[in-house]
Amino acid sequence: MILAGAGLYYVAHQDRTPGPQLPHDSTKKTLVVLGSGWGATSFLKKLDTTDYNVVVVSPRNYFLFTPLLPSVSTGTLSPKSIISSTRYITRHKARQVAVIEAEAKSIDTTKKTVTFSDSSDIKGAVSTTTIPYDYLIYAVGAETQTFGIPGVKEHACFMKELQDAEKMQDRFLDCVESAGFLGQSPEEISRLLHMVVVGGGPTGVELSGELHDFLEEDLKFWYPELASRMKITLVEALPSVLPTFSKALIDYTESTFKEAKIDILTKTMVKEVKEKSVVLQMPDKTIKEVPCGMVVWAAGNTLRALTKDLMAQLPSVQTNRRGLTVDGHLRVTGADGIFALGDCTATSYAPTAQVASQQGAYLAKFFNKLAKKENILIEKQLLETTEVPEDQKAEVTDKLGAISKQLGKLENPRPFHYSHQGSLAYIGSEKAIADLPFMNGTFATGGLATYYFWRSAYLSTLFSVRNRTLVATDWIKVKLFGR
Ligand code: FAD
Ligand code: NAI
């Protein structure tokens, strides 16, 4: 125990006190990274910054581990446990990286510049600027799709950013406290305690499961008179929830929710969100207004305005409404020097963290090789143009031969190849589901053992020892003391 503690202290201390870094070098190419999510962070972690001046621009100065975000909305995890400072990552790089908390507002693909603004509440005298780039790594993700449905933006909670999870937690607890207010009518109590989750994709399912756990494990004891009146409804427009999971797991999730008394309304579409209700189009096309205390909107992704603007600059080649078209090396079609990855792109892969992080790692490797190639070309040019004494000519010829071989290896880099590691989701009641690649098919599993597998998989995927320690500690705290 003491040894493990000392080991952890040593690792943490080493991590917190990195050595000096190389300074900015005006002879190196400028690589601007937009975003600090899965794609950008995975890229930064693997990039060798020795040969680039890297500038990271993102409205949030941290990486958010989205798979565990629903757990923050119910207080299972504390917000800080699932974020890592971007500066912490860049501080460990060979050359200094500039991290700027700002939102990219426009990209000029002809001049190769990006303009960004400080969008936080507190601004200095300068809050907008434009910088040139040699390469732009475009990893701004996507935003939540609302389909322009009335009232969603005004009245619903979302589940995309850390603030969304915190807001949802506040709203949820507020509903419970207001339901307990003296003299509340039975109808009003039922309304306040009705939580509606919109979207039966993995986000909506995980959220419903987390809400159920909060109710069963904690609220039942704190509010015994109210807990039995709490209702969770999951609304999905398609015929089933989790359409991307295998049929057996869909059935398993639906039966687990039934046992947990989470109502699933499939083939039902939300048409409007009001302050105190949600308007549903039922499977028979009738319209029904259902009173509720909280609506959480998890209806999928849409492109950010910045991405739409970027595509509008390249109208003849960027025509896919799902996102940016990229080639096998993630180069944005029609834009010199821009590479895109993750949820902002339209590829054959699902918009997941797995894809974005593998793309980030691939691109870092691509740029590490590019730098190597450029350094070799400089060395080659130097050898070819320098006068060499007769007795050293054979040695130089050998060197040039070796260089040509090295260059040959660096030519034609391989295109990106995605390796699917499986799909996992937590469905509440200490049960998880997993579709895992097995032989040439899929192995579908669900239950308590899968839940422990889910926990260990995410614990090991977390980016730092700090996050792993905090998340594990939060889980123990909740088990011992509640939320
Ligand atoms: P993001 O990770 O969203 O990062 C985008 C970055 O760009 C952010 O840092 C953002 O602040 C920044 N940005 C935004 N606008 C600008 C701008 N104008 N200028 C500069 N920067 C900007 N996937 C899985 O594989 N497994 C899971 O279990 C899973 N769980 C999820 C749970 C939830 C609740 C959610 C919402 C998603 C989940 N996903 C999961 C999906 C996964 O999070 C996304 O696919 C992944 O985040 C995509 O990575 P990205 O880098 O493209 O975008
Ligand atoms: P999603 O796109 O997977 O699901 C959204 C659902 O909302 C759809 O099924 C859609 O039919 C439904 N919907 C849309 N509008 C509606 C309306 N008006 N009324 C009722 N239903 C409506 O979105 P989600 O869950 O946010 O996931 C986004 C991406 O992130 C996906 O690629 C997903 O795989 C990934 N993800 C993966 C997780 C995991 O693997 N555990 C967890 C969370 C997200």
ipTM of this model? 0.98
pLDDT tens digits for 138-188? 999 999 999 999 999 999 999 999 999 999 999 999 999 999 999 999 999
pLDDT tens digits for 402-424? 888 888 888 888 999 999 999 99
The Cα–Cα gap between 281 and 267 comes to: 9
Number of H helices, E strands in the chain: 16, 23
Ligand 2 near 433 CB (within 6 A): no
373: number of Cβ within 10 Å: 16
Q: At what angle do helices 353-385 and 393-410 cross, to 10 degrees?
A: 160
pLDDT at 15: 76
* Atom 18 of ligand 2, nearest CA residue: 270
393: number of Cβ within 10 Å: 10
Regions in the chain scoring below 70 on pLDDT: 1
Count Cβ neighbours within 10 Å for each residue of 180-208 and write b for 16 or more, e otherwise.
Answer: eeeeeeeebbbbbbbbbbbbbbbbbbbbb
pLDDT tens digits for 84-112? 999 999 999 999 999 999 999 999 999 99
Here the tokens at position 437 are 């690649």
The Cα–Cα gap between 253 and 209 comes to: 10
pLDDT at 364: 98
Ligand 1 near 194 CB (within 6 A): no
pLDDT at 430: 95
Candidate from 144, 203, 458 with most ligand 2 atoms within 8 A of CB, to mutate: 203
pLDDT at 207: 97
Contacts 24+ apart (CB under 8 A), 397-406: 403/376, 403/379, 406/376
- Exposed, middle or buried, 45 (CB in 10 Å: 0-12/13-18/19+)? middle
pLDDT at 267: 98
Strand partners, 280: 270, 288
The CA 284 to ligand 1 mean position distance, Å, reads 36
The CA 454 to ligand 2 mean position distance, Å, reads 19
Please check whether residue 298 is in contact with residue 348, taking contact to mean a CB–CB distance below 8 angstroms: no
Of the listed ligands, the closest to the CA of 202 is 2
- Exposed, middle or buried, 410 (CB in 10 Å: 0-12/13-18/19+)? middle
The CA 452 to ligand 2 mean position distance, Å, reads 24
The CA 137 to ligand 1 mean position distance, Å, reads 15
The Cα–Cα gap between 285 and 299 comes to: 20
Candidate from 343, 345, 433 with most ligand 1 atoms within 8 A of CB, to mutate: 343
